């Protein structure tokens, strides 16, 4: 069941690239991201009270860790993410997500001293080559000229996501750990509060009456599907399988993202994206395979 949930998480997150591509140019970034997490908290808060009957009392340590989770995984990640979507194609942005499991595996090795087997190093190199091809649009020698602000922003988002996943492990593995539902609700509140700090600086840049209905629908999808449901299921995966095993399902985000962008946004499907994406996914899969773990 947890594997099916994580597969659905990948599909839900791939959908955020599509709705984000539509909504990001029409609402300022702090406003759009803050509304996403206020929407998520409006769903998760009452659901938490309904399911668990109370709001958990967190120690100062866990409260600080949930703040770190929100700071990197919700606040910084979403600003990088929305900034990238304004500048590059949704499918191309989704493919860079192939770096997430690699960065998580490297972070686990550095922080928890987990040994990286030789085959995993091969997978890491393959994934980096694949992402290199995707970013360079099939011309790796031209990478420095192809690597623009959008790609750099998405790489920053990938780093933030690795930090988020590691911090989530600390939260969910503590002796007094909250449930994945409670952890997601608390992190969503932190994220909404942090992002709301930037909203006053954007008030003059938009007017509610001028926002298209599709943008409000996008915010609802962001909050309900891309956050409330997806983050709870992802946190369940981190708790049950561990960060490295849960993050491997991010491999499917680029696959779903490219397919959805091609079907719904008429974005071109370049041969270099297929080749580079396949190499990156192969590398990430090898990095997290049982064969690599035994080598």
Range 34-57 average pLDDT: 93
Least confident of 46-60, 127-141, 201-215, 245-259: 127-141
**Separation between Cα atoms, residue 39 and residue 19, nearest integer Å:** 15
Q: What backbone torsions phi and psi does residue 8 show, to the nearest 5 degrees?
A: -65, -35
**Separation between Cα atoms, residue 150 and residue 161, nearest integer Å:** 17
Give the pLDDT score at 143: 52
Q: Which residues of 202-223 are buried (b: 16+ CB within 10 A; e: fewer)?
A: eeeeeeeeeeeeebeebbbbbb
Q: What backbone torsions phi and psi does residue 267 show, to the nearest 5 degrees?
A: -75, 145
Instruction: Of 33-37, 86-90, 167-171, 289-293, give the range with the top mean pLDDT.
Output: 33-37
**Separation between Cα atoms, residue 134 and residue 129, nearest integer Å:** 9
Question: CB neighbours (10 Å) of residue 294?
Answer: 8
Q: Is pTM, for the whole model, over 0.95?
A: no
Average pLDDT, the chain: 82
pLDDT digits (tens, 9 = 90+) for 96-124: 676 777 777 777 777 767 666 777 777 77
Q: What backbone torsions phi and psi does residue 135 show, to the nearest 5 degrees?
A: -65, -40
Higher-confidence position of 283 and 72 = 72
Identify the sign of the CA torsion 165, 170, 171, 177. positive
pLDDT digits (tens, 9 = 90+) for 62-101: 999 999 999 999 999 988 988 888 887 776 676 667 677 7
Break the chain into its structural domains and give their ranges.
2-294
């Amino acid at each position: 069941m947890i594997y099916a949930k994580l597969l659905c998480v990948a599909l839900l997150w791939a959908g955020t690239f599509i709705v984000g591509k539509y909504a990001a140019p029409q609402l300022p970034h702090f406003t759009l991201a803050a509304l996403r997490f206020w929407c998520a908290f409006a769903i998760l808060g009452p659901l938490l009270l309904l399911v668990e009957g109370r709001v958990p009392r967190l120690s100062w340590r866990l409260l600080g860790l949930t703040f770190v989770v929100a700071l990197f995984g919700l606040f910084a990640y979403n600003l990088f993410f929305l900034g990238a979507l304004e500048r590059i194609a949704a499918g191309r942005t989704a493919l860079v997500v192939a770096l997430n499991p690699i960065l998580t595996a490297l972070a686990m090795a550095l922080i928890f001293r987990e040994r990286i087997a030789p085959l995993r190093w091969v997978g890491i190199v393959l994934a980096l080559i694949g992402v290199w091809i995707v970013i360079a649009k099939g011309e790796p020698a031209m990478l420095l000229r192809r690597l623009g602000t959008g790609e750099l922003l998405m790489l920053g988002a990938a780093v933030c996501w690795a930090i988020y996943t590691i911090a989530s492990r600390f939260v969910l593995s503590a002796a007094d750990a909250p449930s994945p539902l409670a952890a997601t609700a608390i992190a969503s509140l932190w994220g909404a509060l942090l992002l709301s700090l930037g909203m006053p600086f954007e008030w003059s840049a938009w007017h509610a009456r001028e926002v298209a209905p599709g943008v409000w629908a996008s915010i609802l999808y962001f909050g309900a599907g891309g956050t409330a449901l997806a983050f709870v299921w992802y946190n369940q995966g981190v708790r049950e399988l561990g960060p490295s095993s849960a993050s491997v399902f991010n491999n499917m985000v680029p696959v779903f993202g490219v397919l959805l962008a091609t079907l719904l946004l008429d974005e071109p499907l370049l041969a270099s994206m297929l080749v580079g994406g396949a190499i990156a996914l192969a590398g990430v899969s090898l990095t997290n395979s049982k064969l690599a773990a035994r080598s």
